[in-house]
Structure 1
Amino acid sequence: LYVSLEGVDQEKVETEFKPVSVDVKFHDVQGKNYRCAVPKLHQEI
């Protein structure tokens, strides 16, 4: 998974990988929060 977002510091990125899901959160990027989540993958990672 590759997610590109300008202006984000590494310490403000939170990732969580589970056997069948992935969740990436970006905190306080130019005053906003972003999230990219896939709650149910086709197979285990």
Structure 2
Amino acid sequence: MQIMTNLLFLKMIIFYFWESMQHMSLELKRLCQEHAIRILLVTA
């Protein structure tokens, strides 16, 4: 039973970490796009 709860806990941590990574990459992509647009506008 203890092993089962530990596995469940580990799964939850991995899932949460994965979800946060997904959101992070989305935010980073958006930031990169904004910077790219600014650079293009400045150099144009």
- Which structure has the higher relative contact order (CA within 8 Å, separation 6+)? 1
Work out which of the two has the higher radius of gyration on C-alpha atoms and give 1 or 2.
2
* TM-score, normalisation: structure 2: 0.20
Greater fraction helix: 2
The structure where strand makes up a greater share of residues is 1
**How high is the TM-score relative to the length of structure 1?**
0.19
